[in-house]
């Protein structure tokens, strides 16, 4: 039986052209980019070319891209690095209640170091109001950090409107763009972005590599100390195969792919909502092209996912980083869902490689599973 993978918000398959791009840097061009001899400079030149590709994709300059091990490290470097560079003169950070856990947990840790953090509410669709950000800014504010495309409910924030507020108030603006990168526009100049978190494994690249865009002139205190790699901001021998794969992956998804994913997403939403007592979580519009999140009343989302897995269809109930806990999603709670409804949620995330046949098979199986679970559920009495 064929496997159908619908958990692409957690991770994606590595594209064939990405694998091909990476292979020579394991066994042929394997030099250390800090070495001065030919083999080292061969690796360094390749890395700088990759840096140019990543920078161009968000309208940045190559020297503004710092390679990291992924989104979590980039978010930590951005928030902690700015805090240490500005404390105690400024110690206030503004974020939202629907951020990825690596932002929320970083903020909680920084509060123990003397930071003051404002966690803004969002509306029922998952959008933050730029006016709320404006009102929250104080003379002590260092940074506003707002996720671009939400990893659970797909809501795409209006970065241009938020960036305008931050620019007018003279406050730095960071976005976690791990889910949105290559799926929707990111233009650091037009959006007044000062820091942007990117990663590779959500876009058909390898795991363990990402980047942080840091606008020229912004001072960041490094988290790692060593040989002074990456403009002395991220010491450690660079992951050249990963970096080369990351750059190639940034070119994998095109407008045709986005159109294809959008059409499949819309079809999934339309068909799933035909199932009785089913709710879409997050917005219908201004949503990531590959994200669907729904709640089935009176049954557990984990149970739906388990039955789907029996048919070799792989989905999730939310962020993969929290899949080993039994806690309700903080994102669904923030948009107003009670625990029972939050626990009945299922996240379906598609990719450019998802086929119409796979979607049809999923849509054939899902209603039967939901109906079967409702027949045996003690909640339906």
Instruction: Return the active site residues.
Output: 321
Alpha-carbon gap, residue 296 to 127, rounded angstroms: 23
Return the structure tokens found at 279: 């709710």
Return the structure tokens found at 70: 């992924």
- Least Cα distance to 246 among 312, 194, 200 occurs for 200
Q: What is the 3-state secondary structure (H, E, C) of the chain?
A: CCCEECECCCCCCCCHHHHHHHCHHHHCCCCCCCCCCHHHHHHHHHHHHHHHHHHHHCCCCHHHEEEECCHHHHHHHHHHHHHHHHCCCCCEEEEECCCCHHHHHHHHHHHHCCCEEEEECCCCCCCCCHHHHHHHCCCCEEEEECCCECCCCCEECCHHHHHHHHHHHCCEEEEECCCCECCECCCCCCCCCCEEEEECCCCCCCCCCEEEEECCCCCCCCCCCCCCHHHHCCCCCCCHHHHHHHHHHCCCCCHHHHHHHHHHHHHHHHHHCCCCCEEECCCCCCECCCEEEEEECCCCHHHHHHHHHHCCEECECCCHHHCCCCCCCHHHHHCCCCHHHHCCEEEEECCCCCCHHHHHHHHHHHHHHHHHHHHHCCCCC
């Amino acid at each position: 039986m064929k496997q159908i993978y619908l958990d692409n918000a957690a991770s994606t398959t590595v594209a064939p052209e990405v694998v091909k791009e990476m292979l020579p840097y394991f066994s042929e061009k394997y030099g250390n980019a800090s070495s001065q001899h030919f083999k080292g400079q061969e690796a360094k030149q390749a890395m700088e070319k990759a840096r140019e590709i990543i920078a161009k994709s968000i309208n940045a300059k190559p020297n503004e891209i710092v390679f990291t091990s992924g989104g979590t490290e980039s978010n930590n470097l951005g928030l902690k690095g700015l805090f240490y560079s500005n404390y105690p003169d400024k110690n206030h950070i503004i974020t939202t209640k629907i951020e990825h856990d690596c932002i929320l947990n970083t903020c909680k840790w920084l509060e123990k170091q003397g930071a003051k953090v404002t966690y803004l509410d969002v509306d029922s669709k998952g959008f933050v109001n730029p006016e709320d950000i404006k009102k929250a800014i104080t003379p002590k504010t260092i940074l506003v950090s707002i996720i671009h495309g939400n990893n659970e409910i797909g809501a795409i924030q209006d970065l241009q409107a938020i960036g305008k507020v931050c620019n007018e108030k003279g406050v730095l603006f960071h976005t976690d763009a791990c889910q949105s990168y290559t799926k929707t526009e990111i233009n650091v100049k037009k959006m007044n972005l000062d820091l942007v978190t990117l990663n590779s494994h959500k876009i058909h690249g390898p795991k363990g590599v990402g980047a942080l865009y840091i606008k020229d002139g912004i001072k960041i205190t490094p988290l790692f100390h060593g040989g002074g790699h990456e403009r002395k901001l991220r010491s450690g021998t660079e992951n050249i195969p990963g970096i080369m794969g990351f750059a190639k992956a940034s070119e994998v998804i095109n407008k045709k792919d986005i159109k294809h994913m959008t059409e499949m997403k819309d079809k999934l939403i339309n068909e799933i909502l035909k199932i009785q007592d089913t709710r879409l979580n997050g917005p219908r519009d201004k949503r990531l092209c590959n994200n669907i999140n729904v709640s089935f009343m009176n049954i557990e989302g984990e149970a739906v996912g388990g039955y789907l897995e029996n048919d070799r269809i792989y989905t999730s109930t939310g962020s993969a980083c929290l899949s080993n806990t039994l806690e309700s999603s903080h994102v669904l709670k923030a948009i107003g869902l009670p625990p029972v409804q939050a626990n009945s949620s299922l996240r379906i995330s598609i990719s450019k490689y998802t086929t119409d046949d796979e979607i049809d098979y999923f849509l054939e199986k899902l209603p039967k599973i939901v109906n079967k679970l409702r027949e045996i559920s003690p909640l339906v009495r």
